[in-house]
Amino acid sequence: MGFSTPGLLPFIALAAIPIIIHILSRLRLRHAPFPSLILLRTVRRERFSWVRLKEILLLILRTLALASLLLALARPYLTRSIPGIGQATDIIIVIDDSYSTTYADRWENCLSAARKLIRSIGTDRKVILLTASGQIQQDKPVPRGPALALLDSLRPTSLAPKLDSVLKRASTIAESIKASVVVITDRQERSLSSNWHADPGVNITLLDIGSDTFNNAGISRLYPEDRFAAAGKPVRIKADIFNYGSREVTRTAALSLDGQKEEKVLKIPPRTRRTIIFASAVSKPGTYVGQLELRSDSLGTDDKRYIVVHLPEKTHILIVESASITGRYVSDALTADSAARFQVDLVKVKRFSRCDPRNYQVIVIMDPASLKASDWTRFGFYLSSGGAGLLMPGLVPADTSRIGPYIRSFGLVRPAGFVSTSEIDTTHPILERIKLTRLASARIWQYSRLDAKGNLVLARLSDHNPFILENLAHRLIIWAIAPTPEFSDFIYKAVFVPLLHRTVSYLAQISFRTEYIAGDTIRLQLDNSSALVVNTPKGRIRLEPTMRRGRPTVTLTNTSLPGIYTFKSETENKIFRTVAVNPLAEEGNLIRFSSDRLKSQGIQLYSGTLPESADFTVPLLYLAAAAFAAELLLLF
């Protein structure tokens, strides 16, 4: 037996008030002869037994009614232990509050399981509550009452956190206070890494609130039809919608873009992705906000997705050439665009120090060997400040330490005859529309042999050496050749211009990001130290810039709610940047990991039904009402 509000137990003593009143009234009675009433003694003797019995019954009913009512205020319950959680002093409850738990009634089941678990432990044990998202991070155990109150304030999130980090924290706490750990989750596939293992000596039990049967479809991607869209050409919107369930579903996709509204009805086979293209389009320079909603689905979070389409008037490119490697071919290829989407400045390497790199989205270095140490310092500062670059190390510098942080070259290679491109990564945005046959038609008779360690290989040559690399850490694309006739006939092939355009456009988009995942940190570098005001789905937030790597930078960490985030200058009331924050699409896939995997990870699965704690509050209230009703019947 336990009480949810034991502090009210002393008030039960008030139930003795009817007894006290009855005793006091009996003490005040005095017997005095009254001649006129002597004739009534006979009648009194006949009615005495019933009146006395009535008084006793009323006393019992009044005491019972008050006692039941006051005891109900203490909320008594009968605890039933849950097997598998050990006999530790305290218990740590880890709750999976990712958005996959909002499917059907899983979240209600999660809270119900947590309440049953808290009420099942003894009165001498305490509770620590932790959540996967971090919205609750207790360090010290609390009694059951405060734990239940904290549980009532818990809400599911739109995030997709993994359980790895919170389980590690729970295990550390459990070892220090000798507690058991209970995880309440739907066992969604990505919620726990397969290589995570419980620490020896820590008892971890998993309560499963999910099911292998589900029916869910979600929006996995929302993007422009042309990934590198530019002003002047109509840009339509595409969407990828995935049916994660085991049966065919019919859904309505409703797009809203720049005041245009469009709906499409589609049937999606089980375990299948469908791509749809909307007729709504934008073409003028500017920033456009859109939203796609999937109707009549069971998991709401992945049924909405937001998009920001930015169509710049110009993309500013700086090309740095040397006396040995000309940048004319690159400049001509970029300015040959009929839409004039690129604004190109071509400078000699000796004039690079006079340029302000912050004025350019992309800097192309034709001859890295010609840059001085001070030039590399400026270029490195530009990259660390959010810029992006294209390196073409055709010649190997005498001092390789200058380019060491970005790329390592083993020198020039002059094969017998020529080499060509033999394989490309068509999943990369740059190469997704480039055909290997067209790229392989270019003959290369000398190139720089690059070290691929720490870089992503986008294309390889026929001798298996890297041709195109991506350095993700520094936002760099590196070509193994310089685009001049001395290295290859690549510049004369039709594929050269589109490949260069897509490379530069890809790099420009890196420095102008418009989409984030819920929970990401948004950092924006400013041109001045004026504060920004952010309009978020939760309201307005004021951000004061701080100096980061030599430039004023604002940082927004509270991005837990999907939607459109608009950053405005506080002084000029001018929009600085608009971004879309979306949920992680993979969380909508409700396929679960197996119970066998749990055993190998050292986690015990509790598959039984949680025992209900018997709550006596409502029966006591009914008992009090019945006692009051019986009292009224006796009085009339």
Taking every pair of Cα atoms in the chain, the longest distance, rounded to a whole number of angstroms, is 145
- Give the β-pairing of 204-208 and 217-224: unpaired
| Contacts for 635 with CB less than 8 Å, ≥ 6 apart | 58
pLDDT class of 571 with cuts at 50, 70, 90: confident
SS3 call for 629: helix
Q: Round to whole Å and give the CA distance between 488 and 329.
A: 12
Q: Single out the residue in 294, 312, 330 at which a domain terminates.
A: 312
Element (H, E) at 171: helix 164-177
| 475 shares a domain with 332 | yes
| Tens digits of residue pLDDT in 485-498 | 999 999 999 999 99
| 608 shares a domain with 562 | no
Strand order in the sheet with 456-461: 342-348, 315-321, 362-365, 388-391, 476-479, 466-471, 456-461, 421-424
| 172 shares a domain with 233 | no
Alpha-carbon Rg for the chain, nearest whole angstrom, is: 37
In contact, 225 and 277? CB cutoff 8 Å: yes
Asked if the structure places residue 394 within a domain, the reply is yes
Residue with tokens 């020529």: 418
CATH for 221? 2.60.40.10
pLDDT over 70 (residue 276): yes
Q: Cα–Cα distances in Å, from 414 out to 419, 446, 462, 620? A: 9, 5, 13, 93
Ranges 42-51, 136-145, 577-586: which has the least confidence = 42-51
| 232 shares a domain with 183 | no
| Tens digits of residue pLDDT in 336-385 | 865 668 999 999 999 999 999 989 999 999 988 888 888 988 998 898 88
Q: Round to whole Å and give the CA distance between 116 and 616.
A: 15
E strands present in 132-269: 180-185, 204-208, 217-224, 235-243, 249-257, 260-268
On whether the pTM is more than 0.75, the answer is yes
Q: Round to whole Å and give the CA distance between 496 and 476.
A: 19
Q: Which residues pair with 316 in a beta bridge?
A: 343
| 202 shares a domain with 99 | yes
In contact, 474 and 365? CB cutoff 8 Å: no
| 99 shares a domain with 185 | yes
Q: Residue 498 is encoded by which pair of tokens?
A: 């589109």
| 96 shares a domain with 181 | yes
Q: Cα–Cα distances in Å, from 52 out to 19, 55, 351? A: 15, 5, 115
Mean of the per-residue pLDDT values for the chain? 87
Average confidence (pLDDT) over 396-418: 74
Neighbours of 561 (CB within 10 A): 16
The whole-number pLDDT of residue 11 equals 79
Backbone angles phi and psi of 522, in degrees to 5: -100, 120
The whole-number pLDDT of residue 407 equals 77
Query: Which range, 89-103, 220-234, 383-397, has the best average confidence (pLDDT)?
Result: 89-103
pLDDT over 80 (residue 396): no
| 494 shares a domain with 448 | yes
Asked if the structure places residue 294 within a domain, the reply is yes
CATH for 605? 3.40.50.410
Angle of helix 328-335 relative to helix 496-510, nearest 10 degrees?
Answer: 80
| 280 shares a domain with 250 | yes
Asked if the structure places residue 145 within a domain, the reply is yes
Average confidence (pLDDT) over 318-326: 92
Residue with the bigger pLDDT between 27 and 446: it is 446
What is the SS3 assignment for 439-475?
Answer: HHCCCECCEEEECCCCCEEEEEECCCCEEEEEECCCC
Long-range contacts (CB closer than 8 Å, 24 or more residues apart) made by 332-339: 333/483, 333/491, 333/496, 333/497, 333/500, 333/501, 334/500, 334/501, 334/504, 336/497, 337/501, 339/230, 339/231, 339/232, 339/233
Chain centre distance of CA 53: 70
- C-alpha closest to that of 507 among 391, 588, 616: 391
Average confidence (pLDDT) over 453-470: 93
pLDDT over 90 (residue 297): no
SS3 call for 295: strand
| Contacts for 24 with CB less than 8 Å, ≥ 6 apart | none
Element (H, E) at 24: helix 17-27
What is the SS3 assignment for 492-536?
Answer: HCCCHHHHHHHHHHHHHHHCCCCEEECCCCEEEECCCCCCEEEEE
Residue-level length of the chain: 636
pLDDT class of 616 with cuts at 50, 70, 90: confident
Q: Single out the residue in 254, 286, 312 at which a domain terminates.
A: 312
Asked if the structure places residue 560 within a domain, the reply is yes
The whole-number pLDDT of residue 227 equals 83
Asked if the structure places residue 85 within a domain, the reply is no
The whole-number pLDDT of residue 114 equals 93
pLDDT class of 255 with cuts at 50, 70, 90: very high
**Residue 541, domain extent:** 515-582
Ranges 373-382, 459-468, 614-623: which has the least confidence = 614-623
- C-alpha closest to that of 425 among 469, 391, 389, 465: 469
pLDDT class of 528 with cuts at 50, 70, 90: confident
The whole-number pLDDT of residue 217 equals 96
Ranges 126-130, 403-407, 480-484, 515-519: which has the least confidence = 403-407
- Number of helices followed by number of strands (H, E) in the chain: 11, 33
CATH for 395? 3.40.50.880
The whole-number pLDDT of residue 583 equals 98
Q: Cα–Cα distances in Å, from 365 out to 223, 228, 347, 498? A: 31, 22, 10, 19
DSSP states of 62-104 = HHHHHHHHHHHHT-EEE----TTSTT-SSEEEEE--SGGGGST
| 485 shares a domain with 362 | yes
The whole-number pLDDT of residue 277 equals 96
| Tens digits of residue pLDDT in 103-149 | 999 999 999 999 988 888 777 789 999 999 999 888 899 998 899 99
| 325 shares a domain with 245 | no
Ranges 273-277, 400-404, 465-469, 540-544: which has the least confidence = 400-404
The whole-number pLDDT of residue 403 equals 65
| 503 shares a domain with 471 | yes
Asked if the structure places residue 84 within a domain, the reply is no
Backbone angles phi and psi of 552, in degrees to 5: -60, 130
pLDDT over 80 (residue 30): no
| Tens digits of residue pLDDT in 537-553 | 999 999 999 988 778 89
Q: Single out the residue in 463, 482, 510 at which a domain terminates.
A: 510
In contact, 375 and 348? CB cutoff 8 Å: no
| Tens digits of residue pLDDT in 162-174 | 999 999 999 999 9
Residue with tokens 């920001």: 308
Q: Round to whole Å and give the CA distance between 519 and 133.
A: 9
Number of domains in the chain: 5
The whole-number pLDDT of residue 164 equals 95
Q: Round to whole Å and give the CA distance between 63 and 477.
A: 85
Asked if the structure places residue 102 within a domain, the reply is yes
| Contacts for 372 with CB less than 8 Å, ≥ 6 apart | none
Q: Residue 180 is encoded by which pair of tokens?
A: 């058991």
Asked if the structure places residue 552 within a domain, the reply is yes
Residue 459 CB-half CA count within 13 A: 25
